[in-house]
Amino acid sequence: MCCKQWLMFPQMKQHLRSLQERIFWLSCDGWSSRNKISYFALLLNYVTNSTPVSWILCVQQESDHTAEHLAGETRETLKAWDVLLSEIQGLVADNTNSMPAMARELGVPFQGCAAHKLNLVIKHSIEVW
C-alpha cells in the first residue's frame, strides 16, 4: 500500500474529515533516482479559506508503473485517508502514457502538466540544435 503508517498523521486525517467543502485534485509524479530506484508520489490539493493547500499523501518505491497498478495504489491511499474517489475533480501529472491512462482507470479528468511539456520541448530543441 502506498500510504505508509509513519506518513499518516492523525491530525491531518482529522482535518480532511472536518472540511465542509471536500473538493480535491490529485497531482502525482514518478521518477527514478540516480541509483535507478523508481518512486511514485501522490499529492492531494484543495482550497480552504481561500488558501490553496497541497499535502503529500504518499511517496513510495515503485517498480510497476502501469496505469492499472498506479490506479490501485491511488485508490488504496485515498481510502486510507478517508477521501472518496467521487470527491476527486481531476488529476494533474506529467504526460507519460501511464498518467492519462491512470486517470481514465480512476474515472477522473486528466490535465497534463504544462511545465513538463515545456521541459520536453526545450530538451528536444537543445538536442536538435
Higher per-residue pLDDT: 70 or 127: 70
Per-residue pLDDT tens over the stretch 49-85: 889 999 888 888 777 888 999 999 999 999 989 999 9
Stated pTM of the model: 0.80
C-alpha 47/C-alpha 22 separation (Å) is: 9
- Cell digits for 7? 506518513
**Residue 55 belongs to what domain range?**
5-128
Residues 6+ positions from 103 with CB-CB distance below 8 Å: 90, 91, 93, 109, 110
* Side chain identity, residue 79: K
C-alpha 113/C-alpha 73 separation (Å) is: 21
| Cβ–Cβ under 8 Å, residues 120 and 126 | no
Positive or negative, the CA dihedral 51, 54, 55, 57 is: positive
Least confident stretch, 20-24, 101-105, 111-115: 111-115
First to last CA, the chain: 44
Structure confidence at residue 8 as a pLDDT band (50, 70, 90):
low
Whole-angstrom CA distances from 43 to 26, 27, 52, 84, 102 are 6, 5, 13, 14, 15
The total number of structural domains in the chain stands at 1
C-alpha 114/C-alpha 105 separation (Å) is: 22
Specify the CATH number for the domain of residue 59: 3.30.420
